[in-house]
Amino acid sequence: MSGSQSSQETMYRKEPKIYPRHVKGRFARLRVVAVWMLLGLYYVIPWFKVGGHQAVLFDLPARKFHILGLTLWPQDFVYLSLLLIVAGLSLFFFTALAGRLWCGFACPQTVWTETFLMIERWVEGDRSKRMKLDKSPWNANKITRKFTKQLLWIVFAAWTGFTFVGFFTPIRQLGGDIVNLELGGWGTFWIIFYSFATYGNAGFLREQVCKYMCPYARFQSAMFDKDTLIISYDERRGEPRGGRRKSADPAELKLGSCIDCTLCVQVCPTGIDIRNGLQYECIACAACIDVCDQVMDKMEYSRGLISFTTEHALQGEETHVSRPRMWIYGALLLVIVSGIVWGMTQRVPLRADLIRDRNVLYRELPGGMIESVYMLKISNMDNKPHRYELIVLENDAVQFDYSRPLELQAEEVGDFSMRIRMPASAGSGTQNLQLLLQAVDDPSIQRLAKARMLLPVQTNRAGQ
């Protein structure tokens, strides 16, 4: 990891390490707020309980997702897919509107890298101190600082991995297991795996994830148009660039507003020069805007040499927020979100399946009755216990009884074996049965269970 940033090397060269300079300003503050909010939510949410369950718990062994008091069952798979589509569409919508807002302020890669950089800066100092430290020989100071940084990184990464697994296993129980050294093999494996991923991505790979691994970085430009917010250097105002004294008149020196301090390059977490135009490496973190505005203030020039702007605005034209793609993305989002909300309100927290025992076709009882054995599988998806009753629709001749009362605890699944009887004279061959399962205390909770029943074929009385 050479600290050299010279440009003319053609021999084999490792990816040069980037030492982003710390920056303060409007956008840096915004990012710090985003980091605290997002990471705060991430680390805190699993410790809260809503409606008797962990606030967010993806309980894979039980095949149930608990999300803020809502319990999703495998049958609600469609909502999860719709939510994913909403997430994708939102990404399109916000990319078209404001460019790579996601990359610069909300992407976990940015958020965790920012945190790792904070730790690094706290232990090793800012850019120039870090570069000096990396070049210096191993002495007590370097060892202490490097060791402290690594220790803090590893502890933070481990806590991150633990929290991640805590979204899939009840976190309080997981914490207890670790304290009592009773953690199982898979739990241990996944905690270490995610800790390592955090450490590797945020501490080691950093901007290389965005440059080489992220597919979004490759195709986001397809969602851009001339009205999309991008980070842009005002070339017409800035060039020709060059150093000068504050008191000097740029016009006299035949210079633009850019004083060529290269601070915009030094603060860039991906190590690019924004003055070369928009590049796919730019994650729109706006660090260069913050630092350039400070330099402009210092030189008593007007701000905005580098700014969040649109191509239209740069060309002196009007920027249109309202344009066809915004309306299309927006309308699609609205439709799907309303669909999800409507679906959730209409959702009946009950599922019933009537499965015929395949081993026995039917049994003939004295008195001309035919009997078949069924398994009634009921899922009580509600958060309170219910007792259910079965009602036969459209066929008065059907009788049934079940082995035990149809009672289920909250979020319980039960199998009830039952017998259904029908007079042989009621029909011939396959009969379609429709049974309505309904909660005794709340008739709005009801489900139709369909089943087939075989009766002896009348022309051939022998049956099978």
Partner 1 sequence: MNQPDQDNAPEIRGRWSMRQRDIGIAIWVAFLAACVGTFVIFGVMDPEALNDAWVLPWEMGRKLAYSLGFLFLFIVSLIASSLTIFMIRTGPGRGHTTGSGRRPLPEIKDPGEDNPDLDIGEWH
Q: What angle do CA 202, 114, 23 make, to 5 degrees?
A: 140
121 vs 142, which CB is nearer to partner 1?
Answer: 121
Report the C-alpha gap between 446 and 108 in whole angstroms. 43
What is the per-residue DSSP string for 52-81? TEESEEEETTTTEEEETTEEE-GGGHHHHH
237 vs 298, which CB is nearer to partner 1?
Answer: 298
Report 359-378 residues binding partner 1 (CB under 8 A): 377
Report the C-alpha gap between 264 and 271 in whole angstroms. 9
Q: Maximum CA pair distance of the chain?
A: 115
**Which of the stretches 3-11, 99-107, 311-319, 363-371 binds partner 1 when contact is defined by CB under 8 A?**
3-11
**Residue 158, H or E segment:** helix 140-165
Q: Is 180 exposed, middle or buried (0-12, 13-18, 19+ CB in 10 A)?
A: exposed
Selected from 244, 323, 347, 419, the binder of partner 1 by CB under 8 A is 244
Report the C-alpha gap between 305 and 238 in whole angstroms. 7
**Which of the stretches 1-9, 102-110, 384-392, 399-407 binds partner 1 when contact is defined by CB under 8 A?**
1-9
CB of 265 to partner 1, least distance (A): 5
Interaction of residue 6 with partner 1, rule CB under 8 A: yes
List C-alpha distances in Å: 108 to 34, 160, 202, 260, 289: 11, 12, 9, 33, 22
Query: Distance from CA of residue 26 to its chain's centroid?
Result: 26
CB of 7 to partner 1, least distance (A): 4
Interaction of residue 144 with partner 1, rule CB under 8 A: no
Interface mask (CB under 8 A) for partner 1, residues 185-224, using x and -? ---------------------------x--x--xx-----
Interaction of residue 22 with partner 1, rule CB under 8 A: yes
261 vs 326, which CB is nearer to partner 1?
Answer: 261
Report 373-402 residues binding partner 1 (CB under 8 A): 377
25 vs 330, which CB is nearer to partner 1?
Answer: 25
Interaction of residue 357 with partner 1, rule CB under 8 A: no
List C-alpha distances in Å: 309 to 169, 185, 262, 320: 45, 52, 21, 12
CB of 173 to partner 1, least distance (A): 26
89 vs 272, which CB is nearer to partner 1?
Answer: 272
**Which residue, 225, 210, 224, 200, is CA-closest to 107?**
210
CB of 317 to partner 1, least distance (A): 29
> Positive or negative, the Cα torsion across 187, 192, 195, 201?
negative
Copy the structure tokens of residue 346: 């209409």
CB of 263 to partner 1, least distance (A): 5
**Which of the stretches 15-23, 168-176, 191-199, 227-235 binds partner 1 when contact is defined by CB under 8 A?**
15-23
End-to-end CA gap in the chain: 81
- Site size toward partner 1 (CB under 8 A) is 47
Question: In this structure, are residues 319 and 310 in contact, taking their beta carbons and an 8 Å threshold?
Answer: yes
Q: Hey, what amino acid is at 129? A: K
131 vs 333, which CB is nearer to partner 1?
Answer: 131
Report the C-alpha gap between 5 and 133 in whole angstroms. 16
Selected from 9, 317, 389, 441, the binder of partner 1 by CB under 8 A is 9
Report the C-alpha gap between 302 and 138 in whole angstroms. 46
Interaction of residue 239 with partner 1, rule CB under 8 A: no
**Which residue, 362, 451, 356, 445, is CA-closest to 406?**
445
276 vs 430, which CB is nearer to partner 1?
Answer: 276
CB of 273 to partner 1, least distance (A): 3
Report 254-313 residues binding partner 1 (CB under 8 A): 259-263, 265-266, 271-273, 276, 291, 294-295, 298-299
CB of 303 to partner 1, least distance (A): 16
Summarize as ranges the residues that interact with partner 1 (CB under 8 A). Answer: 5-13, 16, 21-24, 74-75, 77, 126, 128, 212, 215, 218-219, 242-247, 259-263, 265-266, 271-273, 276, 291, 294-295, 298-299, 355, 377
